[in-house]
Structures are given as C-alpha cells and as structure tokens.
C-alpha cells in the first residue's frame, strides 16, 4: 500500500466553533480519523506544523510545511497532503510548487465548512487529496484538491467567499476531476504545474519570519496616486503593482513606479481574473511606459502569487536580474 504523509497547517478544515468565533483546534490525525474509508487508499502518517486560520498564515509556517514535505519524501512517502485554510491556500500551494521540489505529488486541500457543519466538504476534499496523492498521474508538482476537482497550484484562485466550488483556474480549467471510481484528466498535470523553480533556501524552516523580504502590493484604480506606493519605499525590498486590464496604472502611480525602480524591483500584475499582462498602451501609467521604465510583468500569475514569487526569490538571495527573469 502507498504511504501518504499528511501535513496539518490549520484552517477551517481543522476548526471548531466557539463563543468568540471558530478557530483551528483539531490535529491532523483527528481529521484523518474523521474520514470514512480513507485508510483504504493509503497508509497515512500525520504531522502538524501549525494551527493557523488561512487569513493569518505567514512564511514561517509555509517553510515548516515545506521542510516536513521534504522530510516525508526522504523517509519514503509516496505522496504528501497538506491541509490548510482556504483564504491563502493557493498562495501556499504555489510557494511549495516553486520552492519545494520533490519527486512525488503534493496535494493541498482544505474546506469551506467545518467537519461539524451540515453539508461539510471537509471529508470529501481530504479523501480526494489522498486519492490524488496515490493516483500515479500527478508527480511531480503541486495541486489543489477541492470539490472533486484537481487544480494546478500555479493557476488556482479562491473565487468565492463560501461556495464549495470556490477554487477555479480562470482561463485554464481543472487538471482533473474525480468521480466515485475514476479520475478524468483534462490537462497534462506536469505541464500545468511547470514554472520557474527557486532554490530550496527560499523556504528555510530555520529562518525567522521577520527575515523574509518585504514586498507590499499596491492596487491601481480610479483616483489612486503615487503616494500609495511611495509610503512603502523606505522599507520595501520589492513591490507588486496590481494594475488594471492588461497591466496598466494611473499616471501618478506610473510616475511613482519609475522612481521606485531606482532602488527595488517592481512587478506588475492585473486585477482581472484571467488573461495575461501585455504592454499595449502609452501615457504615464500605460503598459508600454511601465515596460520602458523597467518593470517585470506577472504574465498570468495572480497578484498574490506574483508577490509570493517575488518574496521568495529575493529571500533566497537571487540577484535583482535573476528574480525579474523568473517572471514572464
């Protein structure tokens, strides 16, 4: 029988209700024991590295999860499942995908409803994740298992606050869907997860959380001026600008980007859910002008994932040029 190591990070899937609001309280082994028939698919081993809600995740916990993934694989695990809060689940999955290179499937999952809530998706999501980990079609690479679908970590985003099918891959679709008996592939799993790999040092469990690169994200929109970026410059190691459309910004913000590039790298993403960034428009904040200033473009990466990549690349000690080259 295959061996699957489950790494618990917290989240709704591990939460219990309380008078002052629900919070993670269940250990990973309790989650596993709560899913009927899950042991029929694999010999399960469990380790907890955190008990955080998804909205309060930090790179220290992500690094601890990465270390546990590497250790589990070194100890012979055939696959790894990471349980996590949904708010930043896609961020962590992407971080593991680019900085935790292991030759077995890594499947990240969670739930929108707790185990104790009616219609909970926790048991089915955890079962799907284990099934994916031993399926044999998904190594290497990191995927997200949710609502009977498997999504590439690079593409998946949380699209709805509480719907059970919240994780989608805009413009791409799922890599696979699961029925009661079979797995149906829609895309090449390895191609779907391919991206630039960063050194393992990017996620070092011994690094203090405060030692990670400081990368704020600045949103462009109606009336946004350059001050929204300038206030971060004294402490920032890099900046992500979430542009509109193809990756454009207001004129004032575009001027601030030009100044910021004298000291830090700037990556431009789009607030649109699907489609690439492209340099098409002129004027002070248009994509052509930003490109000429020297920004890197996020391509089809979401703002959150562009920030994850920039943080980890800078933290790993890559040169500014090398970090910028990891983007499209």
Q: Which residues are catalytic?
A: 86
- Strands 217-219 and 239-243, by their bridges, are parallel
Task: For residue 107, give the 3-state DSSP assignment.
Answer: strand
Give exposure, 155-171, as e/b (b: 16+ Cβ within 10 Å): bbbbeeeeebebbbbee
Contact 28, 80 (CB under 8 A): no
Question: Are the CB atoms for 130 and 38 separated by under 8 Å?
Answer: yes
At 82, give phi and psi (nearest 5°): -110, 125
Tokens of 23: 């919070």
For residue 158, what are its two tokens? 């949380």
| H/E element, 157 | strand 157-158
Token representation of residue 7: 């790494």
User: What token pair was written down for 308?
Assistant: 């994850």
52 vs 60: CA distance, rounded Å? 11
Give the three-class secondary structure for 273: coil
Q: d(Cα 314, Cα 317) in Å, to the nearest integer?
A: 5
Burial class (CB within 10 angstroms; exposed 0-12, middle 13-18, buried 19+) of 42: buried
Give the bridge partners for 105, in sequence order: 141
């Amino acid at each position: 029988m295959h061996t699957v190591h489950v790494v618990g990070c917290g989240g709704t899937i591990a939460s219990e209700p309380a008078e002052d609001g629900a919070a993670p309280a269940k250990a990973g082994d309790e989650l596993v024991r709560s899913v009927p028939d899950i042991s029929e698919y694999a010999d399960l081993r469990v380790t907890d590295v955190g008990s955080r809600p998804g909205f309060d995740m930090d790179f220290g916990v992500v690094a601890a999860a990465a270390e546990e993934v590497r250790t589990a694989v070194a100890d012979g695990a055939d696959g790894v499942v990471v349980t996590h809060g949904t708010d930043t689940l896609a961020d962590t999955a992407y971080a593991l995908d680019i900085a935790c290179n292991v030759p077995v499937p890594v499947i990240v999952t969670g739930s929108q409803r707790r185990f104790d809530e009616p219609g909970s998706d926790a048991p089915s999501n955890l079962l799907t994740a284990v099934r994916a980990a031993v399926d044999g079609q998904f190594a290497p690479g990191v995927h997200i298992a949710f609502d009977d679908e498997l999504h590439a970590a690079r593409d998946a985003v949380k699209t709805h606050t509480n719907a059970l099918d919240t994780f989608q891959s805009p413009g791409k679709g799922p890599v696979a869907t699961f029925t009661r008996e079979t797995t149906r592939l829609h895309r090449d799993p390895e191609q779907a997860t391919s991206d630039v790999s960063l050194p393992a040092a990017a996620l070092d469990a011994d690094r203090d959380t405060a030692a990670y690169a400081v990368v704020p994200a600045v949103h462009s929109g109606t009336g946004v001026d350059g001050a929204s970026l300038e206030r971060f410059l004294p402490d920032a190691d890099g900046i992500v600008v979430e542009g509109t459309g193809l990756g454009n910004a207001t004129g004032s913000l575009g001027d601030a980007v030009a100044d910021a590039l004298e000291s830090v790298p700037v990556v431009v993403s789009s607030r649109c859910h699907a489609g690439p960034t492209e340099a098409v428009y002129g004027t002070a904040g248009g994509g052509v002008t930003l490109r000429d200033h020297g920004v890197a473009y996020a391509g089809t990466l979401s703002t959150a994932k562009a920030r994850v990549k920039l943080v980890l690349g800078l933290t790993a000690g890559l040169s500014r040029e090398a970090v910028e080259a990891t983007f499209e």
